[in-house]
Structure 1
Amino acid sequence: MIVQICVGSSCYLKGAERIVELFQTAIAEHKLEDDITLAGSFCTGKCNRIGVTVTVNDEVYTGITTENFKDFFTEKVLKPIEAERKGLGNGMSDAEKI
């Protein structure tokens, strides 16, 4: 799984650095270092008034904040990895994608 965090000026001002730290911590806590490639990205052009833009396997999500990070990580990162390990696909419906 490839997770890219926007570090463009708008997302940076909205806390991209802290979101990177949260991802690093969560990846380590769940021992997902071999499953996730974490990277920064330039502006995706999907800016939101609230939070940071994060791309997971080419699916763009906006509005990621320290407050909603845990739920986002569980739903969009952890569950799909667990499903993939069980052979159940990516765990995301088209309605959840932007």
Structure 2
Amino acid sequence: MATLEITICIGSSCHLKGSRDVIKIFERLISFHHLDDKVTLKGSFCMGECSKNGVCICVDNERFNVTPNETESFFNYEILTRIK
């Protein structure tokens, strides 16, 4: 089974925008939904989206910008719908 790859920017700008919190929320939601075998989380340094609001996230080569407060709804809408 193919896994969904999620890459989260951990560069200095995204770090200041809350990338650590975004990662923790993703880890919690992946565990809660029992998706450890279906989702791969990766980190990456600067992804070139520094001027945008939020943390840069790449889901199977599609880029998004998400704040920590938006992470759970983003997960429910973008991640869960891609897996199911």
Residue in 2 that maps onto 1:58: 61
CA contact (8 A) 2:22 2:67 kept: yes
Could you tell me how far apart the structure 2 residues matched to 1:30 and 1:2 are?
A: 16
Bigger proportion of residues as strand: 2
Displacement after TM superposition at 1:49 (Å): 4.1
Between the two proteins, the alignment pairs up a number of residues equal to: 81
1:27 pairs, out of 27, 30, 36, with 30
Alignment of 1:9-24 (within 5 A): 9-24=12-27
Instruction: Return the letter of the residue paired with 1:37.
Output: T
CA distance in 2, matches of 1:2, 1:56: 6
Q: Percent identity?
A: 38
Structure 1 residue 46: Cα displacement: 1.7
Higher relative contact order (CA 8 A, sep 6+): 2
RMSD: 1.0
Q: TM-score, normalised by structure 2?
A: 0.90
In the alignment, which of 74, 77, 81 is matched to residue 76 of structure 2? 74
> TM-score when scaled to structure 1?
0.78
Identify unmatched segments of 5+ residues in structure 1: 83-98
Superposition misfits of 4+ residues, deviation over 4 angstroms: none
State the 1:73 CA deviation: 0.3
